[in-house]
Amino acid sequence: MKKKDKKIVYVIVGIISVVLITIGVTYAYWILTRKQEGTNIVNTACLDIDMVGKNDILIEKAYPILDEEGLKLKPYTFTIKNNCNDYADYEISLEMLSETSLDSEFVKISLNESGDKGVPTNLSEYKKYSNLKISGTKEGRTLKTSRLKPKEEKEYELRIWIDEDVTIEDDTMSKIYKSKIVVDSKLGNIPYIESILNGTDPVLDGDLIPITINEENGQVTRADETEKWYSYAEQKWANAVILKSGVEDPGPNEPIEENDIESYFVWIPRYRYEIFDEGNYEDLSTKEDKAKIINVEFENKDEEIKSGSSVGQWLTHPAFTSFNTNGIWVGKFETGYDGAVKTSDAEINPIGENSAIEAASKVIIKPNVYSWRGIQVAKAYTVGRHYEATLNSHMMKNTEWGAVAYLQQSEYGSHQSVRINNNSNYLTGYAAKNEPTTGYTGISELCSNTPEACNEFSGATSGSDGEYNTNYFNKESVVASTTNNYTGVYDMSGGTWEYMMAGIDDNSTGDGSTGKLSVGRHNLWKSGFNGKLTCPQCNDAGVNHDIIEVTDGIDLPTDERFYDKYDYSISNATYNRGILGDATKEMGPFQSMTNGAQLRYTGSWYDDESSFAYNGNPWFYRGGAYSNGSGSGVFAFYSNYGHAGGWVGFRLVLAF
């Protein structure tokens, strides 16, 4: 989105600063409520939560400012401490006083644990509640829900500022904003933990609800967190759902109707792995069969990070260190488009940044729905960041794909080839009835005719089995899961290729890295981000591409946690540019081969497609498509322009 005219912004700054600085002291209203809920069964139980603020909150710049400036404001810092020997659940909320007239959509906040980087979020994006805790308030927003262990304490930083996009046309003049912070706590039952996870058990926050899945038919039940609801030792990964707006949490052990679910997520616990290949592959050679069980140990974020780089050494997987979390929630399926009733309905590329932000409401992550395809990387990134912003929702990165892939290939996953989703209608959660034995040749080749070189694919009606595939609720579909049961991640082999928020540096001139991602091949095929194109000299279809920099798109993210960047190259076979753990660098050696007229680069893990991003195709996508046969897979990676391709979708991740 283009920045607004600077002259207009300067006018607004002058007016709003006078109004809001005058009432800036109203931001210093703070309150703590302690609330006993239920009856203490054991006389040693207690409820004693301390909240200690270290300073007043000062609105230093009460006019529209950039998010980068907002994050530099002096925060209001406070500590929440559990003084008891029992678990305590708590919520941090803001309640707006009745005299508040400034709408929440114009207020930006950042709430983060001290030491973590804050994420700017519009106040209006936080969940609104009606059971207000304080008299004289008119609106409440829940900023954070979490749990304290016995004697545990957490320190938070809160910053508030006026959104940079406020303009003179917005209804903000002579407005007042007053709020109080509320910390509401209650005794928490001791949650189930699995000792093998070493403290990396699933973390629930926001709208996430823990579930169990029936092993026979895929039906969902709300989990009781105090009982065993996952077991990584038994290859049963933790799952959670976000319910549709207006649907209430049914409570432990109650069924959840599929129609009430908006999105499924799977917990990938933080771990370190034993490096098995240093990935020093500078070009093509001869592939080998190198698939093996990857050694994994779960590692709490409070432990010392392992930084190995050689075979036999241990490395804390980079998917977890970028956000410093004990795990990530990964979309269980490719992202779908809510309301699509046929394949073409889900091929949507929003026009502009604002449309992409609004389109985040169309996200669904469910089985038997149409994958959202035909979307530029910039739009997919924007959709991802605005889906569940308070949970750091974002478009999946290469390293995060690698975290799922390596866990799948460990003793805690299926550690075998994951069956392809061969549904040509791009429906999620499907599984091929037969394992393909050859890569893409352009036609569906029946396994009954050529079992040594077959690749079956066909369409199917949503929720029904097809001629060559089974739908998610048919228990035979679990061969397409990373765990070989219903608890794993689906669509990581086949379905649609999935763009990653991962690409190469834009150093097209060779005069040194700018530190920014390339935004596309040339002006015809581009990602939708602002920035440099890596191959403007590429002459496709006789088109002259003189434009070397895009200026009418969406700004590239500046927060490095949300993307992976690789060195520039003019070759798609310089694999040593990969990142340890991203499931590209270590999957060699690689070779070139043909299936009929189809040229393929393949790796040494399950014969999966393996073509690295380079100046001609600067963005990564993963997993393969429904028709790629044996070339599709958890370890498949390829490169493309970042443009809106009808065969390319995306996946979402939560990291908090």
- Long-range CB contacts for residues 147-150, cutoff 8 Å, separation at least 24: 147/87, 147/88, 147/89, 147/90, 147/188, 147/191, 148/49, 148/80, 148/81, 148/82, 148/87, 148/88, 148/90, 149/82, 149/87, 150/82, 150/84, 150/85, 150/86, 150/87
Which of the two residues, 383 and 64, has the higher pLDDT score? 383
In this prediction, residue 168 carries a pLDDT of: 67
- Is residue 347, in this structure, part of any structural domain at all? no
pLDDT band at 314 (very low <50, low <70, confident <90, very high): very high
In this prediction, residue 441 carries a pLDDT of: 82
Do 485 and 235 contact (CB within 8 A), yes or no? yes
Residue 613 has pLDDT above 70, yes or no: yes
Residues 534 and 569: their CA atoms lie apart, in Å, by 10
Which of the two residues, 64 and 403, has the higher pLDDT score? 403
pLDDT band at 25 (very low <50, low <70, confident <90, very high): very low
| Helices and strands of the chain, counted as H and E runs | 6, 35
Lowest mean pLDDT among 14-23, 499-508, 581-590, 625-634: 14-23
In this prediction, residue 55 carries a pLDDT of: 57
Do 272 and 317 contact (CB within 8 A), yes or no? yes
Q: What percentage of the chain carries pLDDT values higher than 90?
A: 69
- Is residue 504, in this structure, part of any structural domain at all? no
In this prediction, residue 32 carries a pLDDT of: 36
Lowest mean pLDDT among 286-300, 388-402, 500-514, 521-535: 500-514
Lowest mean pLDDT among 140-154, 164-178, 381-395, 431-445: 164-178
CB atoms within 10 A of CB 67: 18
Lowest mean pLDDT among 64-73, 204-213, 382-391, 423-432: 64-73
In this prediction, residue 30 carries a pLDDT of: 35
Residue 530 has pLDDT above 70, yes or no: yes
Residue 225 has pLDDT above 50, yes or no: yes
Local structure of 555: helix, strand or coil: coil
DSSP state of 492: S
Average pLDDT over residues 617-641: 97
Do 222 and 249 contact (CB within 8 A), yes or no? yes
- Is residue 23, in this structure, part of any structural domain at all? yes
In this prediction, residue 14 carries a pLDDT of: 26
Q: How far is C-alpha 348 from the chain's CA centre?
A: 20
Residue 261 has pLDDT above 90, yes or no: yes
Lowest mean pLDDT among 64-78, 618-632, 636-650: 64-78
**Into how many domains does the chain fold?**
1
For 82-115, give the secondary structure using H, E and C. Answer: ECCCCEEEEEEEEEEECCCCCCHHHEEEEEEECC
In this prediction, residue 325 carries a pLDDT of: 96
pLDDT band at 7 (very low <50, low <70, confident <90, very high): very low
Main-chain dihedrals φ then ψ at residue 10, nearest 5 degrees: -60, -40
Residue 15 has pLDDT above 50, yes or no: no
Residues 37 and 48: their CA atoms lie apart, in Å, by 12
Q: What is the pLDDT of residues 539-565, one digit of tens each?
A: 776 666 777 889 999 999 999 999 999
Residues 347 and 425: their CA atoms lie apart, in Å, by 12
Average pLDDT over residues 577-604: 91
Q: What percentage of the chain carries pLDDT values higher than 70?
A: 88
Read off the amino acid at residue 626. Answer: Y
- Is residue 618, in this structure, part of any structural domain at all? no
- Is residue 92, in this structure, part of any structural domain at all? yes
In this prediction, residue 48 carries a pLDDT of: 57
In this prediction, residue 312 carries a pLDDT of: 98
Local structure of 576: helix, strand or coil: helix
Do 360 and 349 contact (CB within 8 A), yes or no? no
Residue 38 has pLDDT above 60, yes or no: no
Residues 645 and 376: their CA atoms lie apart, in Å, by 8
Q: Which strands make up the sheet holding 87-97, listed edge to edge?
A: 127-129, 137-148, 87-97, 179-188
- Enumerate residues 6+ apart whose C-beta is below 8 A from 501: 377, 381, 384, 394, 395, 396, 397, 562, 563, 564
DSSP state of 411: T
Average pLDDT over residues 36-43: 35
Q: By residue range, what is the domain housing residue 148?
A: 6-188
Whole-number mean pLDDT of the chain?
88
Lowest mean pLDDT among 26-30, 248-252, 327-331, 621-625: 26-30
Residue 634 has pLDDT above 50, yes or no: yes
In this prediction, residue 163 carries a pLDDT of: 87
Local structure of 425: helix, strand or coil: coil
In this prediction, residue 543 carries a pLDDT of: 67
In this prediction, residue 201 carries a pLDDT of: 97
pLDDT band at 597 (very low <50, low <70, confident <90, very high): low
Residue 88 has pLDDT above 70, yes or no: yes
Helix (H) or strand (E) holding 602: strand 598-602
Do 432 and 491 contact (CB within 8 A), yes or no? no
Does a cis peptide bond (omega within 30 degrees of 0) precede residue 210? no
- Is residue 112, in this structure, part of any structural domain at all? yes
Do 612 and 574 contact (CB within 8 A), yes or no? yes
- Is residue 361, in this structure, part of any structural domain at all? no
Q: What is the pLDDT of residues 469-509, one digit of tens each?
A: 999 999 999 999 999 999 999 999 999 999 999 999 998 55
Beta strand 531-532 with 648-650 is unpaired
* Cα dihedral: 289, 293, 297, 298 (round 10): 100
User: Which of 89-103, 132-146, 565-579 ranks highest by mean pLDDT?
Assistant: 565-579
- Is residue 149, in this structure, part of any structural domain at all? yes
Phi-psi region of 424 (alpha: psi -120 to 50; beta: other; left: phi over 0): alpha
Residues 376 and 545: their CA atoms lie apart, in Å, by 19
Residues 332 and 653: their CA atoms lie apart, in Å, by 9
- Full DSSP string of 452-489: TS-B--B---TTS--SSEE-TTSGGGGGGSTTSSTTS-
CB atoms within 10 A of CB 98: 11
- Enumerate residues 6+ apart whose C-beta is below 8 A from 524: 540, 543, 545
pLDDT band at 430 (very low <50, low <70, confident <90, very high): very high
Residue 61 has pLDDT above 60, yes or no: no
